[in-house]
Amino acid sequence: MSGIEGKVVVITGASSGIGEATALLLAERGAKVVLGARGSARLEALADRIAALGGDVVYARTDVKRRVDLSNLVGLAIDRYGKLDVLVSNAGVAPISLLDEIRVEDWEEMIDVNLKGVLYGIAAALPVFRKQAFGHFVNIISTTGIQINPTMAVYAGTKNAVCTITEGLRREAGDKLRVTGISPGFVSTNLADSMTNSQVKSQINDQMNKMAIQPAAIARAIAFAIEQPAEVDVNEIVIRPTAQV
């Protein structure tokens, strides 16, 4: 048996990109995957695909801006499988722009999804993990928080906040829980779809087309962290295209 087989894994932002690739890979390796995302049609199609390949999967429409949705998604895992091994907090948006544009609604969206969504996941899963005396948080961060560029201030701010919370959680976790932060660089996803500035969106898409790596690369990093023995805690992984500075 692998270190993944039989584990129950909740994934947010599961209907596309990194979330979709992670769901497919973990299900292939024998995990029971519990999928959440806002896009109901894509979520259902992914679940059907996994089931057709022999995987064990359930799903629920989930908006990480709503605390109750995260509670319900974790509850679905417990109700269906009787435990929760891993929560992968992957949902994210990036309507980036220069601060001078004063796109306050976009700032709030990034704070609500990228930061509060992770906190709501922790609030839902941490009591379960404490009761079980095992569990693993995997938070998807970003290399944007490592090298902060124009237009990225608020997005990078949310990701750096998640980085800080992830490390704080690790230090509070004790010897039974594991905590991993994974920072991807340019990945070929639909993240640019959330961008409201057309010029910035075009620039990001151009950069993605030139150098982006496939979501499966990040999925493999997530799988690596999950499959380690219980006494091994992989805390930080930074993974970016070779061509990315």
Tokens of 15: 């209907």
Q: Which residue has the tokens 């980085």?
A: 163
Q: Tokens representing 106?
A: 């976009």
CA separation for the pair 53, 28 (Å, rounded)? 8
Tell which residue, 20, 186, 172, has the closest CA to residue 88.
20
| Catalytic pick among 59, 81, 120, 155 | 155
* Calpha distance 124→186 (Å, rounded): 30
Show the tokens assigned to 174.
């004790």
* Residue 12 phi, psi dihedral angles, 5° rounding: -95, 160
83: tokens are 């435990």
How remote is the C-alpha of 221 from its chain's centroid?
12
Query: What one-character DSSP code corresponds to residue 232?
Result: -
Burial zone of 102 (CB within 10 Å; 0-12 exposed, 13-18 middle, 19+ buried): exposed
Check if 155 is active-site.
yes
Q: Which residues belong to the active site? A: 155
